[in-house]
Amino acid sequence: MTIFRIVRRLPACLALLAGSAALSATAAPMGYKDSWMTMADLGPNWRELSLNYALTATDALGVDEAYMRSDDKQSTLDLSDLTYTRLLHRWNSADAQANLWFVTGIGEAWTHNRVTGISETRTMWSPGTQFDYETRRVYFAAAARLYRATGIDHDYGSVRGGFSFYETEYDETQPWFVLEARRMHDLSDKTEITPMLRLINKGLFIEAGVNNSHQPRLNFMYIF
């Protein structure tokens, strides 16, 4: 069973996920040393599932499976790759934290065009960065990633921000409102904007919303 097939079954599996390990408001791309992290981003035109292991407090190795579809539903791309994540720098203050991350992957991309019937396989490289800033009440993140292969340029960018409705204790569920704008070159001519409700409880993080194309969006992250 490929990771992509698992992605399709994730909504039925969410109820099995429960707490452990501290998690901040940020959708960080890796957890603490010796932890495992699984993340998913699920929607009609973009689905991604990843799993990584933190070798150190700043380095993680993992695997990733992604599915991308054009707005007209005629072109699709399936990507399976190995990933490396690095915490480049962290800024700490008494009640805030900021992080700068580097993420890259290399793997196999399979493309299919429903109009021409042509399917091709290429090696794809996907370097990117993420910056995030958070307190217990506000959150901001910006990310950019290059999905490149021969004849493919699916560069991706996103900006998101939000606020918590109220502060909670460590073992309580904290609700947040998050607004995200993102865009992917060559697959879409639209900027996707999605308001989401985020719930965080220890090692479990879930987001759900509907974007400006009236498409559902579901994200989750779990550290164990």
**Does residue 25 register a pLDDT over 60?**
no
Domain total of the chain: 1
Q: Is the pLDDT of residue 17 over 60?
A: no
Mean pLDDT of the chain: 89
8 pLDDT more than 60 = no
Whether residue 154 contacts residue 186, with contact meaning beta carbons closer than 8 Å, is answered with yes
pLDDT of residue 12: 42
What share of the chain in percent tops pLDDT 90? 81
In this model, does residue 26 exceed pLDDT 90?
A: no
Q: What is residue 135's DSSP assignment?
A: -
Site of tokens 């998690």: 23
Our separate counts of H helices and E strands in the chain read 1, 15
Q: What is the CATH number of the domain that holds 95?
A: 2.40.160
Q: Return the sign of the alpha-carbon dihedral for residues 164, 134, 154, 148.
A: negative
Range of the domain at 218: 3-223
| pLDDT reading at 202 higher than 50 | yes
pTM for this model (two decimals): 0.85
Q: Label residue 165 by pLDDT band (50, 70, 90).
A: very high
The pLDDT value recorded for residue 7 is 43
52-68 pLDDT, tens digit each: 999 999 999 999 999 99
Give, in degrees to the nearest 5, the angle at Cα 83 between 158 and 11.
65
Mean pLDDT of 17-41: 71
Mean pLDDT of 163-176: 91
CB neighbours (10 Å) of residue 197?
14
In this prediction, residue 94 carries a pLDDT of: 87
DSSP state of 73: S
Task: For residues 66-95, give the mean pLDDT.
Answer: 96
pLDDT computed for residue 171 by the predictor: 85
